[in-house]
Amino acid sequence: MGALIQLEQVAKVYGKGQAAVNALDRIDLIIQRGEFVAVMGPSGSGKSTCMNILGCLDTPSRGVYRFGGVDVGALTRDQRALLRRNYLGFVFQGFNLLSRTSALENVELPLIYRGMPIRQRRERAREALAAVGLTGWEQHNPAELSGGQQQRVAIARAIVSDPDVLLADEPTGNLDSARSREIMDLITRFNQERGLTIIMVTHEADMAAYARRRIDFVDGRIAGAADAPSGARNK
């Protein structure tokens, strides 16, 4: 393993003057390649702002963000979009699937943006759905799938392009406890078997326990970082 992500004195300020809000206040963070990190904190603590910066969806007001040794702040908007497209996968609480589109077509989307030929991308999408346990469900649209199955489709879509990092924002927030454990077992397997780096925002301590390290945000700062309890991930 080696340092994949580095934040050095990164700050994010919204607004100006007396209305200015320090969403992030000069944070330092290193995430090693192959880590599984859980990010926690109350609403407004800065965890979502940090995830947006890591996902190249936002830029710091100051400080340096390095991905694989590259200064992301020195990249153009188009270059950041390419980094996001080629190296990052995203999973959200709300699934964000296209409602009138089959599971297979939803998973194909990132490969369409890459310009991959239809036969190749269809094969890759089928492989990704098989990896999340949805062989036989390729032609079902989201309305025909359970919440857990929809999140599996979303995970397949996130991994189909073979990213270096999976950014998961409350991936179990809309699921019951049994489906949550299934999704966390799946994410953990990708981390362990594929070496996929996982960065997950969650407010649930039992979900954070699947990670190998937990980072707590408070008032725009990192309040603590420690190895997560091993109980959940060893089940």
State the pLDDT at residue 229: 60
Question: How confident is residue 231, by pLDDT bands cut at 50, 70 and 90?
Answer: very low
Q: Please, what is the Cα angle at 53 between 11 and 49, to 5 degrees?
A: 70
Compute the distance between CA of residue 92 and CA of residue 97 in angstroms, rounded to an integer.
Answer: 10
Amino acid (1-letter code) at residue 26: R
Reported as a single tens digit per residue, the pLDDT across 103-115 is: 999 999 999 988 8
CATH architecture of 34-48+86-227: 3-Layer(aba) Sandwich (3.40)
State the pLDDT at residue 227: 75
State the pLDDT at residue 232: 53
Q: Is the pLDDT of residue 47 over 50?
A: yes
- Give the chain's largest Cα–Cα span: 57
State the pLDDT at residue 16: 87
- Domains of the chain, residue spans: 34-48+86-227
- The mean per-residue pLDDT over the stretch 75-94 comes to 93
Phi, psi dihedral angles at 95 (to 5 degrees)? 70, -50
State the pLDDT at residue 93: 87
Q: Please, what is the Cα angle at 172 between 168 and 178, to 5 degrees?
A: 140
Three-state SS at 217: strand
State the pLDDT at residue 234: 52
Compute the distance between CA of residue 211 and CA of residue 228 in angstroms, rounded to an integer.
Answer: 6
User: Which DSSP symbol is given to 234?
Assistant: T
Q: Specify which residues 71 forms β-bridges with.
A: 66
Question: Hunting for tokens 């080696």 — which residue is that?
Answer: 2
Question: How confident is residue 224, by pLDDT bands cut at 50, 70 and 90?
Answer: confident
pTM of the model: 0.92
Q: What tokens appear for 39 in the block?
A: 């990010």
User: What is the average pLDDT value for the chain, to the nearest integer?
Assistant: 92
Reported as a single tens digit per residue, the pLDDT across 139-175 is: 999 999 999 999 999 999 999 999 999 999 999 999 9
**Residue 222 neighbours by CB under 8 Å, 6+ apart:** 27, 28, 29, 215, 216
With CA atoms as reference, report the closest residue to 199 among 219, 178, 213, 218: 213
State the pLDDT at residue 222: 94
